[in-house]
Amino acid sequence: PKEPSGSISTDSIKIKKEVANAFVKRQKRSSLYERYYEYYKSPMEQMHERCENYPPCDYLSDQIGFSLAYNRFFG
């Protein structure tokens, strides 16, 4: 059903719970180790993210390698 303004109403895009559950799957709970690993990153991973978030370091790491680029900007 269209509204007088010509747009589709929000009621027409709602679906039943049973239909939604047919194609939306819940993510299984991960193990304690996986949750720990996602929460606490290794120092090397933290260094990579720091370099990736700083565009000059990220660009230089593609040219000369991560360790040299990181040491140049943060070392």
Residue 2 lies in a domain: no
Is the pLDDT at 71 greater than 80? The verdict is yes
pLDDT in tens, 33-56: 777 777 788 899 999 999 999 999
1 part of a folded domain: no
What is the domain count for the chain?
1
Torsion over CA of 55, 57, 58 and 60, rounded to 10 degrees? 120
Q: Is residue 17 part of a domain?
A: yes
pLDDT of residue 75: 86
Residue 21 lies in a domain: yes
Question: Which pLDDT band holds residue 64 (cuts at 50, 70, 90)?
Answer: very high
* In a domain? residue 36: yes
CA atoms within 13 A on the CB side of 39: 7
Give the structural domain span for 28: 10-74
